[in-house]
Amino acid sequence: MLSFKSIASLAALSLLPVLAAAQQQPLVVEHGVYQVHLLLHTIGTEEYTITDTRDGRRVLTTATSTNDRGMKRTSVSTLTFGDHFEPLKLEQKSGDVVSTTQVSGNEATVHEGAETRTFAKRPVSFAGFAPMPAAMQMMMMRYWQYHHSPAHLPIMRASGQAPPLDIKLVGHEVFQLKGKMVHLTRYTIANLMFGREILWMNDSNRVAAIMTFAGGLPQEFVLDEYESAMDNLVRSGVRQEMLDLADIDRQVTPEAQGSYAIVGVRLIDGTGAAPVEHATVVVRDGRIVSAGSAPPPAGMRIIHAEGKSLLPGLWEMHSH
């Protein structure tokens, strides 16, 4: 008959493989779910997990699944990173398209679509492809902040002509959510997708929400705990977009100001009527006062536009 001590010893021995296996399993250190919206309508989720591989590296895995009017899309991204959020390996699968970034020492190899490029990695640069999942942008922001928030952040891409990201801190949000005060920091990110994205970080350095054109149309990613604040965030985001448009407008130097006449132009008035050839458009103090075939007022500054066409200003109603 076995003694109690012998039974205890056998039990301990039988647990060793289980304990060893448990120690080898990656440790989950962070997890989150984003609700994905298209034009303010929920179309899916993005779920991410960060695990510690116990060898000095961590792995971010993020999976996005959406269903827009019967069109289902899935994408999975895996980022392996080291100390200080340094990217080591990235694989992004979207349908049948696979893009990869591999960093080895000071060298990086990027495979993106039909293009592959190996190049010397810049000391401060991040990995990523467009569209970039919300959780991947979160890692990008942590990397950017750790490296002292540089004015421009290069992204390792297969094209050597890809412009660096322009990340700016532009404001703060304070509102009440479930009886608690919430503080978010608002940023804009240019050159990642179309125009400028708007991104909010919370006090725990997590991305709370993003407004983006990742799918060609306005999309919003909202961390579950901030879903009930969606309206507040959208209003703030729209105000920021108007500020961004005004900023872009200030960067464009007008060719003419004050009073002037554009002459000799082919005028398309947007009503469906036949174009007016050799038309004249008169502008006074920033406002169009006449457009048609009448000659310009005497003594007015003339801008010759022969061989060109003129039509009313366009604005985006549907992006493709």
Q: What angle (nearest 5°) sits at the alpha carbon of residue 302, between those of residues 300 and 303? A: 150
State how far the Cα of 100 lies from the Cα of 77, in Å rounded to an integer: 10
Please report whether residue 83 resides in a domain.
yes
Please report whether residue 218 resides in a domain.
yes
* Statement to judge: residues 299 and 186 lie in one domain: no
Show the domain range for 169.
27-251
* Statement to judge: residues 238 and 304 lie in one domain: no
- State which amino acid sits at residue 225: E
Q: Are strands 260-267 and 302-304 parallel, antiparallel or unpaired?
A: parallel
Residue 220 is encoded by which pair of tokens?
A: 């919003």
Is residue 319 scored above 70 in pLDDT? no
The predicted-structure confidence for 80-134, as pLDDT tens digits, reads as follows 999 899 999 999 999 889 999 999 999 999 999 899 999 999 999 999 998 899 9
Residue 48 is encoded by which pair of tokens?
A: 């991410």
Name the DSSP class of 122: P
CA atoms within 13 A on the CB side of 123: 2
State how far the Cα of 280 lies from the Cα of 306, in Å rounded to an integer: 11
Q: In whole numbers, what is the pLDDT of the chain averaged over residues?
A: 90
Angstrom CA distances, 301 to 17, 28, 179, 257, stand at 89, 70, 62, 10
Please report whether residue 37 resides in a domain.
yes
Please report whether residue 117 resides in a domain.
yes
Instruction: Give the CATH number, domain containing residue 278.
Output: 2.30.40.10
The predicted-structure confidence for 259-282, as pLDDT tens digits, reads as follows 999 999 999 988 889 999 999 999
Please, are residues 156 and 121 in contact by the beta-carbon 8 Å criterion? yes
Average pLDDT in the 197-204 region?
Answer: 96
State how far the Cα of 213 lies from the Cα of 210, in Å rounded to an integer: 10
State how far the Cα of 219 lies from the Cα of 214, in Å rounded to an integer: 7
Residue 67 is encoded by which pair of tokens?
A: 């269903």
Closest to 74 in 3D by CA, of 45, 41, 48: 45
Residue at token pair 């699968």? 93
* Statement to judge: residues 90 and 230 lie in one domain: yes
> Could you give the number of structural domains in the chain?
2
Please report whether residue 3 resides in a domain.
no
Is residue 20 scored above 60 in pLDDT? no
Closest to 151 in 3D by CA, of 114, 188, 96: 188
pLDDT band at 19 (very low <50, low <70, confident <90, very high): very low
pTM over the 0.85 mark:
no
pLDDT score for 69? 87
Of 251, 269, 301, at which residue does a domain stop?
251
pLDDT band at 195 (very low <50, low <70, confident <90, very high): confident
* Statement to judge: residues 287 and 207 lie in one domain: no
* Statement to judge: residues 36 and 176 lie in one domain: yes
Give the burial string for 250-271 (b: 16+ CB within 10 Å, else e): eeeeeeeeebbbbbebbbbeee
* Statement to judge: residues 271 and 243 lie in one domain: no
Please report whether residue 10 resides in a domain.
no
Of 226, 251, 276, at which residue does a domain stop?
251
State how far the Cα of 68 lies from the Cα of 58, in Å rounded to an integer: 33
Q: Which residues pair with 209 in a beta bridge?
A: 200, 222
